[in-house]
Amino acid sequence: MTDADRPVPAPPAITPHEIVVPRTARYYTLGPTHGFPRELWIVCHGYGQLAGRFLRQFAPLDDGTRLIVAPEALSRFYLDPIPMRRNDPAPRIGATWMTREARDAEIGDYVSYLEQVVTEVRHPLAGGAPRIVVLGFSQGTATVSRWLATSEHRADQLVLWAGGIPPELDLAAWSARLHGAPITLVVGDADDMVPPASVAAEAERLSTAGVAFDLLRFPGGHTIDADTLTKLASGFAGH
What confidence tens digit (pLDDT) does each residue in 86-126 have? 888 889 999 999 999 999 999 999 999 999 999 999 999 97
Does some domain include residue 18?
no
Q: Name the maximum alpha-carbon separation found in the chain.
A: 84
Mean pLDDT of 121-149: 94
pLDDT band at 7 (very low <50, low <70, confident <90, very high): confident
Long-range pairs for 164-168: beta carbons < 8 A, 24 or more residues apart: 164/198, 164/202, 164/205, 165/141, 165/202, 165/205, 165/206, 166/142
Q: Which of 51, 232, 55, 44 is nearest to 139 (CA)?
A: 44
What domain count does the chain have? 1
Long-range pairs for 217-221: beta carbons < 8 A, 24 or more residues apart: 217/186, 217/187, 217/188, 217/189, 218/186, 218/187, 218/188, 218/189, 219/188, 219/189, 219/190, 220/188, 220/189, 220/190, 220/191, 221/188, 221/190, 221/191, 221/192
Name the DSSP letter for residue 124.
Answer: T
pLDDT recorded at residue 126: 74
Amino acid at residue number 217: R
- Is the distance from CB of 113 to CB of 71 less than 8 angstroms? yes
CA dihedral sign of residues 115, 119, 120, 122: positive
> What are the residues whose beta carbons fall under 8 Å from the beta carbon of 67, sequence distance 6 or more?
29, 30, 31, 32, 33, 37, 39, 40, 41, 121, 125, 130
Does the pLDDT of residue 238 top 60, yes or no? Answer: no
Does the pLDDT of residue 35 top 60, yes or no? Answer: yes
CA distances from 176 to 85, 149, 166, 171, 186 (A): 47, 9, 16, 8, 21
pLDDT recorded at residue 4: 66
Does some domain include residue 231?
yes
pLDDT band at 151 (very low <50, low <70, confident <90, very high): very high
- pLDDT, tens only, 38-49: 999 999 999 999
The residue among 172 and 2 whose pLDDT is bigger is: 172
Does the pLDDT of residue 66 top 60, yes or no? Answer: yes
Mean pLDDT of 177-206: 94
Which domain, by its residues, includes 167?
Answer: 24-236
Does some domain include residue 16?
no
pLDDT band at 236 (very low <50, low <70, confident <90, very high): low
pLDDT recorded at residue 12: 87
pLDDT band at 8 (very low <50, low <70, confident <90, very high): confident
- Is the distance from CB of 69 to CB of 40 less than 8 angstroms? yes
- pLDDT, tens only, 206-232: 999 999 999 999 999 999 999 999 999
Backbone angles phi, psi at 210, to 5 degrees: 75, 25
Does some domain include residue 100?
yes
Does some domain include residue 59?
yes
Does some domain include residue 17?
no
In CATH, what number is assigned to the domain containing residue 187? 3.40.50.1820
pLDDT band at 25 (very low <50, low <70, confident <90, very high): very high
